[in-house]
Amino acid sequence: MRVDLLVAEIGSTTTVVNAFDGIDTSNPVFIGQGQAPTSVLEGDVTIGLHSAVADLAVLLKADKIEYSKLLATSSAAGGLKMTVHGLVYDMTAKAAKEAALGAGANIHMVTAGKLRRTDLQKIKAINPNIILIAGGVDYGERDTALYNAELIANLDMDVPVLYAGNIENQEEIRLIFEETGKEKQLYIVENVYPKIDLLNVEPTRKVLQDIFEEHIIHAPGMEHIREMVSGTIIPTPGAVMEASKMLREAIGDLITIDVGGATTDIHSVTADSDEISRILIAPEPLAKRTVEGDLGVYINMKNIVEMIGIENLSKELGMSIEAIENLMDTHVPIPESPDQIIFVERLAKEAIVVSANRHAGGFRTLFAGGGKKTYAEGKDLTSVKFIIGTGGACTRLPNRVALLHEITKNHLGDKLLPKNETQILIDNDYIMASLGVLSKEHKASALRLLKKSLKIDNEV
């Protein structure tokens, strides 16, 4: 059987392959999905890829699957591991961090100011895929970024380094890396924080994804990735962000929520309302991603149970504490029994509400010379029109729509959350990440397929 295109999502444990046909026509079609264990630990990720394609063939009752192109997203081999180094934490370091998260990175370290010996030891221990240096508005402070660049260039590491700081430093940064023989590791992009209260994160995000694609083949187990993947490769969270940005252009401001086994990711693509922008303390990016490493319904299940309280959970679910403890002891990645489903839905509800509250900004009351004034800080979600659910929990649990609607119930409090009338949409085919990478090469088809999965009119 021949199809136009496959998109692989290479996860840390599972590789999923989605098949699409009719690409670049008025009616592109999602055909089916195969999956297999990821084979990074076997030293060759293509073993798992071949197995997932074989699984797809079985599903489609075909002898084999032939395809014109294979694209991929990847969070295998630790995903996109990064360290970020800026000047002032609330300014350039934060801007660099926002750019890295939006590109789909897993940030393992953020520093502000001049690096210390202990910082350099941590960088070497982390062994990041990319190091990001920022610092100083354009034509402002120069020394910190130059000092940090000198230290990083002299590390005994073969790691790509992206400079996104003060424009005045660019030539000197080049010289530093040329003198250490590492000019091929250096990438330079526009300043992420060119002026006070101005973020410029998109150029950095784009280059980060380009660097990831260029260097992912060097990750353990990923060396043979180009033997099968002929098109674009980007980090899986970055692909979800790409799909969210594409969809926002078509239907309006939105947030995408992905509750996973280990983490909960939220991607918001929305502008500040006029009312909030007038009292906002510091700028926020149009597209923002947060990842909550303690909120997962499988690996981090016990964390969520502790947040709720086992006694409260017992009362809410109408089960004995012993029954709850038994559910915890026999917890599985995909719930099957009615009690397991009820249990996971309550965990997912907590993950959704807590992660949304962490992602959203809020109001602060400050005392100044003129008396008490109210300001806003953080991301404003009050203009959001749509909440998109993707990932296993938000696309497969029976009460997924009601669970996602929970975050709109507190919009009149002190958090800048979506309003009650916000519409809930579900990625029914569970293909949003695949469509994010597909949008890099076939944007119109990716948008049509995403609207089909969300069951919204193509004219919306």
- Written as six digits, the tokens of 262 are 């280990």
Alpha carbon distances (Å) from 327 to 332, 345, 350: 9, 13, 17
- Regarding whether 295 and 421 lie in a shared domain, the answer is yes
Contact yes or no for 65/1 (Cβ under 8 A): yes
Query: What local confidence, expressed as pLDDT, does residue 411 receive?
Result: 60
Pairing of strands 287-292, 264-269: antiparallel
Q: Whole domain around residue 16: which residue ranges?
A: 2-77+219-231
Question: Contact at 8 Å (CB) between 195 and 180?
Answer: no
Of 99, 94, 49, nearest in space to 71 by CA: 49
Q: Are residues 38 and 60 in the same domain?
A: yes
pTM of the model: 0.90
Per DSSP, the three-state class of 186 is: strand
| 125 inside domain | yes
Q: How far is CA 26 from CA 21, 434, 444, in A?
A: 11, 19, 9
Do the domain assignments include residue 156? yes
Structure tokens at 162: 């992206």
- The verdict on residue 355 lying in a domain is yes
131 within domain boundaries: yes
Which of 262, 356, 358, 265 shows the shortest CA–CA distance to 304? 262
Measured CA to CA, the distance from residue 74 to residue 77 in angstroms comes to 8
Q: Is 398 exposed, middle or buried (0-12, 13-18, 19+ CB in 10 A)?
A: exposed
Number of folded domains in the chain?
Answer: 3
Query: Is residue 145 within 8 Å of 136, Cβ to Cβ?
Result: yes
Alpha carbon 273 to its chain centroid, in Å, reads 24
Instruction: Give dist(CA 455, CA 72) in Å, integer.
Output: 24
Note whether 193 and 206 are same-domain residues: yes
In a domain? residue 440 = no
Are 284 and 413 part of one and the same domain?
A: yes
20 and 136 part of one domain: no
Residue 187 in domain: yes
Check residue 380 and report its DSSP letter.
Answer: -
From 154, 137, 160, select the one nearest 86 (Cα to Cα).
Answer: 137
pLDDT at 333: 85
Residue 376 lies in a domain: yes
| CA separation for the pair 58, 53 (Å, rounded) | 9
Model pLDDT, residue 412: 62
399 and 258, same structural domain? yes
Are residues 318 and 431 located together in one domain of the fold?
yes
Could you report the average pLDDT of every consecutive run of 10 residues in the chain (460 residues)?
94 90 95 89 87 95 93 83 94 92 92 97 95 96 97 96 97 97 96 93 93 81 86 92 97 96 94 92 93 91 95 95 95 91 96 96 82 90 97 94 93 85 96 96 96 80
CATH value at residue 167:
3.40.50.2300
C-alpha–C-alpha distance, residues 161 and 153, integer Å: 9
- For the record, the structure tokens of 129 come out as 């895929």
Regarding whether 361 and 429 lie in a shared domain, the answer is: yes
The DSSP output letter for 92 is I
What burial class does residue 279 get, using C-beta atoms within 10 Å of its C-beta: 0-12 exposed, 13-18 middle, 19+ buried?
middle
Q: How many CB atoms lie within 10 A of CB 90?
A: 11
Cβ contacts of residue 94 below 8 Å, gap of 6+?
Answer: 86
Phi, psi dihedrals of residue 269, rounded to the nearest 5°: -130, 90
Whether 108 and 187 map to the same domain: the answer is: yes
The candidate with the shortest Cα–Cα distance to 436, out of 256, 295, 225, 297, is 256
8 Å CB contact between 359 and 267: no
Whichever domain contains 31, its CATH number is 3.30.420.40
Claim to verify: residue 226 and residue 185 sit in the same structural domain: no
Report the pLDDT value the prediction gives residue 460, as an integer from 0 to 100. Answer: 45
**Domain contains 456:** no
Are both 208 and 227 inside the same structural domain? no
Residues 260 and 396 in one domain: yes
